Amino acid sequence: MIQVKDQRFTLQTKNTEYIFEILYDKYLVHLYYGGKTAGETVYSSRYKAFSPFTAEHGTTYSPDTCMAEFSGFGNGDFRATSLKLKNKNGDSVCSFEYRSHRIFAGRIELPGLPYADANADTETLEVSLLDPVTGCGVQLYYTVFPKEDVISRYAVIENRSGGDAVIEKSMSLLLDLPGCEYDMISLYGGHNNERHYQRRPLFHGNQSIGSRRGASSHQFNPFIALCDHHATETAGEVYGFNFVYSGNFLDEVEVDQLCGTRVQLGLGSENFSWLLKDGERFTTPEAVMTFSAAGIGQMSRNFHAFTRNHILPPEPFEQRPVVLNTWEACYFNIDEAEMLRFAEAAAECGTDMVVMDDGWFGARNNDKAGLGDWFENKEKFKDGLAAFVDRMKAKGIKFGIWIEPEMVNPDSELYRAHPEWCLQVKGRESLLSRHQLVLDMGNPAVIDYLKESFSKTFEGVALDYFKWDMNRHLSEVGSTVLPPERQGEAAYRHMLGVYELFRWFKEKYPHAMIENCSGGGGRYDLGMMKFSTMIWTSDNTHPKPRIKIQYSSLLAYPAATMSCHVSNPKNVCADPDVLKFRWQVAVGGALGYELHLPDALQEIKDTVKKQIADYRVYEDLILRGDYYPLCNPYETEISAFYYANGDHSRILLSALQNSSFSGHFYTLSVPGAQPDAVYYDAINDLTLTGRQLIVGIRYSTVDKDPTGKMWYFVKQ
Ligand code: GLA
């Protein structure tokens, strides 16, 4: 709910409140964001010497010390700016005053960008600001998602100056908090090792994470949180932030001289500038925030519900398919005969879908050639793709295919015909990465080619699924179709082109599901989730690192987005304990397999069949239930968590041990269990009362590697 009274705006969600007001009829000052306040929050000046003020209002207001909603540049606010806008006179000073506002149900579309869908509860506040000197305007949009305790923010920048302006820095969300006694949680990593949890106390100064790679990246995820120093999974105050965008970003957190904390998320200034002609508007991507007074777990649940209800596309199938992917089993060695063996084995073991990974197109026998040539390799599929896919599906499975539309190998027909279609900078060598270059997706001719090429190749092919990959980052980011003054726009325009192609795929193949991938989880972000039912969490399928990667991913994203495969290197291991542990880790998310099932021993096939049957019993809790983290694997030897339905009549509890060590005890408590109910756990043949579950189950670590334990409690 959004209310305005006496120039004060109050945005309310189920458990939170966000308040700001207009001071002296001009300045937007932030007052409060957190749990619902009992009393009134009032503005009081926080003046400090050396902070500039206006002659009219003296030290009662300084842009440098007030908590702001949006900050200008060069106007006396010396903290990080929300907008740097070079005007027709050549300076970049800007300063904004309130002009008007309106409140409306639902929300407005963000042109070309992914954004959260509105539902019946969604409301938006638009606040219009003006810089009276340059004539440029900014509209701030606050959209409230009450049920999920999420508020989103973005800005529209409008040039009404009568000349050209250049956006040199743009941020979507600014939140000023009065204190700085917080830890910052962020997710860092690299390929094969993405999204690792780190938590550090804030220090005075600017601490930021971001990406300059043209993708949200393995290295830093756009999600961050600020929490009390003592916040745990279940207690303490936590603010969570994320960005609905998949390219370069900046999350900056600055602790100022007054021990206040400024948080900003947006495109930043590196790898981004935008020429805004007179009369034009630029819409920033959307950023989101949430607040939890009940620990880190509640923050995650807020974001999970928000992502499920407002971001993810509808599930294309009644039941999420368990996928058998060919990559780790075959790499590039695929052809029709081999794939048909996969289809048979998949049907035998109960995997619903075979996803034929890389190697089916052009001259693609290794990673040095073929990308860009999106037609089937006739030596591997002699009767063509359509006939092959029909034969696969006749075995009783669904069929998915791997694509990497944004990329090209120099050794390809496409590159030989159109070298100018790659991102490039005149006179500079275009560096290779995985022997490939990046297509300039901001060039409409490239998008047209890709649409035409995929339409032709997939004409009459009964595809159920695309695994959409992206296997390098962007260097030498320039475009042959942009004039010099617009080269700073290339990375952003590239991303808009990528989204355009995703939208086209969703419209052209509405029945098909997209699994997103970027060398694993290199684009694990809310922008990609708008189009992708799930994301390949990591190329690292070893269960131990996966425990941590999955814990960290779940901080911000729901389990339904985590594609998790049981792998078995060289397919030789039939040790039931090893396969069991790999499965126990993989059922933290959407289960799949990365095995050479056709060559597997019968006992492995039987194990897979049983694992899938077990998963089906509680799959709905994992994909649609609520997630409760209990033990953080970065702080203890175990990762413990449970999934439950709304009334906690069904609870799936897991403890996954990360090291072989005996004698440490953990109490795994299920606070939401119904105290008077009796629960039966069929996995361990155990009967417990709800009260006993609330007190907690004792798990003691054992000196055995690998080790995991699961309980599935159903109210009797
Ligand atoms: C990336 C993906 C893998 C696989 C290969 C194919 O590395 O993460 O899962 O699809 O590409 O080349």
Q: Which of 64, 251, 358, 469 is catalytic?
A: 469
- Give residues (CB < 6 A) around ligand 1: 327, 357-358, 402, 469, 471, 517, 519-520, 536, 539
Ligand 1 mean position to 467 CA, how many Å? 9
* CA dist., res. 560 & res. 557, Å (int): 8
Residue 367 CA: which ligand 1 atom is closest? Answer: 12
C-alpha angle with apex 664: 663 to 666, nearest 5 degrees?
A: 135
Mutation pick for ligand 1 pocket among 325, 358, 403, 518 (CB with most ligand atoms within 8 Å): 358
C-alpha angle with apex 308: 297 to 398, nearest 5 degrees?
A: 120
Return the residue whose CA atom lies nearest to atom 12 of ligand 1. Answer: 358
Q: Fold identical between 323-405+444-471+513-620 and 628-715? A: no
Ligand 1 mean position to 19 CA, how many Å? 46
Residue 333: how many other CB atoms lie within 10 Å: 11
Ligand 1 mean position to 188 CA, how many Å? 20
Ligand 1 mean position to 368 CA, how many Å? 14
Q: Is domain 2-311 annotated with CATH 2.40.50.40?
A: no
Return the residue whose CA atom lies nearest to atom 11 of ligand 1. Answer: 519
For 323-405+444-471+513-620, which CATH class? alpha beta
Whether 91 sits among the annotated catalytic residues: the reply is no
* CA dist., res. 280 & res. 156, Å (int): 10
Return the residue whose CA atom lies nearest to atom 4 of ligand 1. Answer: 327
Mutation pick for ligand 1 pocket among 191, 360, 409, 539 (CB with most ligand atoms within 8 Å): 539
pLDDT given for residue 320 in this prediction: 98
In the predicted model, residues of the chain with pLDDT beneath 70 are 38-39, 569-574
Q: Which of 525, 539, 626, 681 is catalytic?
A: 539
Under 8 Å between Cβ of 583 and 543 = no
Ligand 1 mean position to 272 CA, how many Å? 29
Distances (CA, A) of 224 to 37, 197, 242, 660: 24, 10, 7, 31
All residues at 6 or more sequence positions from 179 whose CB lies less than 8 Å from its CB, including other chains: 259, 260, 261
Type of residue numbered 131: D
Return the residue whose CA atom lies nearest to atom 7 of ligand 1. Answer: 519
Mutation pick for ligand 1 pocket among 403, 469, 470, 514 (CB with most ligand atoms within 8 Å): 469
* CA dist., res. 691 & res. 695, Å (int): 6
Under 8 Å between Cβ of 238 and 297 = no
| Cross-strand pairs, 282 | 157
pLDDT given for residue 573 in this prediction: 65
The burial class, CB within 10 Å (0-12 / 13-18 / 19+), for 228 is middle
Using DSSP, state whether 548 is helix, strand or coil: helix
Under 8 Å between Cβ of 690 and 713 = no
Distances (CA, A) of 465 to 141, 354, 449, 478, 589: 35, 9, 21, 32, 18
* Tokens, residue 421: 């279609």
Q: Give 101-119 pLDDT, tens digit per residue.
A: 999 999 999 999 999 999 9
Mutation pick for ligand 1 pocket among 356, 517, 546, 563 (CB with most ligand atoms within 8 Å): 517
pLDDT given for residue 507 in this prediction: 98
pLDDT given for residue 705 in this prediction: 81
Q: What is the CATH number of domain 628-715?
A: 2.60.40.1180
Q: Is the pTM for the entire model greater than 0.95?
A: yes
Residue 9 exposure: Cα atoms within 13 Å on the Cβ side = 27
The helix or strand, by DSSP H or E, that contains position 387, with its residue range, turns out to be: helix 385-393
pLDDT given for residue 112 in this prediction: 98
Residue 451: how many other CB atoms lie within 10 Å: 16
Both ends of the chain: CA-CA distance in Å? 40
Return the residue whose CA atom lies nearest to atom 3 of ligand 1. Answer: 519
Structural domain boundaries in the chain: 2-311, 323-405+444-471+513-620, 628-715
Ligand 1 mean position to 644 CA, how many Å? 33
Whether 469 sits among the annotated catalytic residues: the reply is yes
The burial class, CB within 10 Å (0-12 / 13-18 / 19+), for 317 is middle
All residues at 6 or more sequence positions from 261 whose CB lies less than 8 Å from its CB, including other chains: 176, 177, 179, 180, 182, 202, 226, 253, 254, 255
